[in-house]
Amino acid sequence: MKPKVLVLLAALLAATSVGYSKADIDKIVTEARLDLDNAPAVVATVITTEPDDAVDILTGALVKIPERALAILRAALEVMPDRAKDFVRIAILAQPKLAPEIVTTALTLFPDKTAELIAAAVEVAPEDVRSAIAAPGNGNGATFDASGRIPGTFTGRPPSPPFPAQPIKPGLVSPSR
């Protein structure tokens, strides 16, 4: 991590307030936005230090940093797996267009909670993406395979390239001659 991020994390960990105000949450999200590579780590650290404000912090981060929304959600799910259903709902409400990808991200981390995560997502998802969420893998959006394989691929050795790898050109002379 960069020194700037370490200083920010240290300042956030040193804060021992009862809860963050709206202005503090906006400041945290703004600071996380300055370094997009480390934004998921910053948000995850803050929500672990202030679990009571996790909903507000995560919502602010997902709304104000949409280009890193899935990475932020994944980091939040990894540090607080017991709140997966809540975080999926929050993420879909904050970024409804990403609903299929949000569900796929959650299902990748928690394949044993498939039914409850899909049910939670369908509750808050917009009408036009509910079918893609309700039946992941049907070609309408989210695809999920608990084995981690990409659909349509095979397991085993990859195909070898045809021989020769480069086309043979008539009259081609080797540089060693």
* Cα end-to-end distance, the chain, whole Å: 53
Q: What is the pLDDT of residue 10?
A: 55
Counting beta carbons within 10 angstroms of the beta carbon of residue 92, is it exposed (0 to 12), middle (13 to 18) or buried (19 or more)?
A: buried
User: In the chain, count of helices (H) and strands (E)?
Assistant: 9, 0
pLDDT in tens, 70-102: 999 999 999 999 999 999 999 999 999 999 999
Pair of tokens at residue 106: 């959650």
Four-residue CA torsion sign, 38, 42, 43, 45: positive
Q: What is the pLDDT of residue 28?
A: 83
Average pLDDT, the chain: 76
Q: Which residues of the chain are under the pLDDT cut of 70?
A: 1-23, 135-177
164 cis-preceded (ω within 30 degrees of 0): yes
Q: What is the pLDDT of residue 133?
A: 81
Q: Which residue has the tokens 């691929």?
A: 153
| CA–CA separation, 134 and 51 (whole Å) | 29
Q: What is the pLDDT of residue 75?
A: 93
Nearest CA-CA partner of 94 in 127, 57, 119 = 57
| CA–CA separation, 21 and 34 (whole Å) | 20
Counting beta carbons within 10 angstroms of the beta carbon of residue 20, is it exposed (0 to 12), middle (13 to 18) or buried (19 or more)?
A: buried
Q: What is the pLDDT of residue 18?
A: 45
Q: Which residue has the tokens 């997902």?
A: 62
pTM more than 0.75: no
Neighbours of 121 (CB within 10 A): 26
Q: What is the pLDDT of residue 139?
A: 41
Counting beta carbons within 10 angstroms of the beta carbon of residue 57, is it exposed (0 to 12), middle (13 to 18) or buried (19 or more)?
A: buried
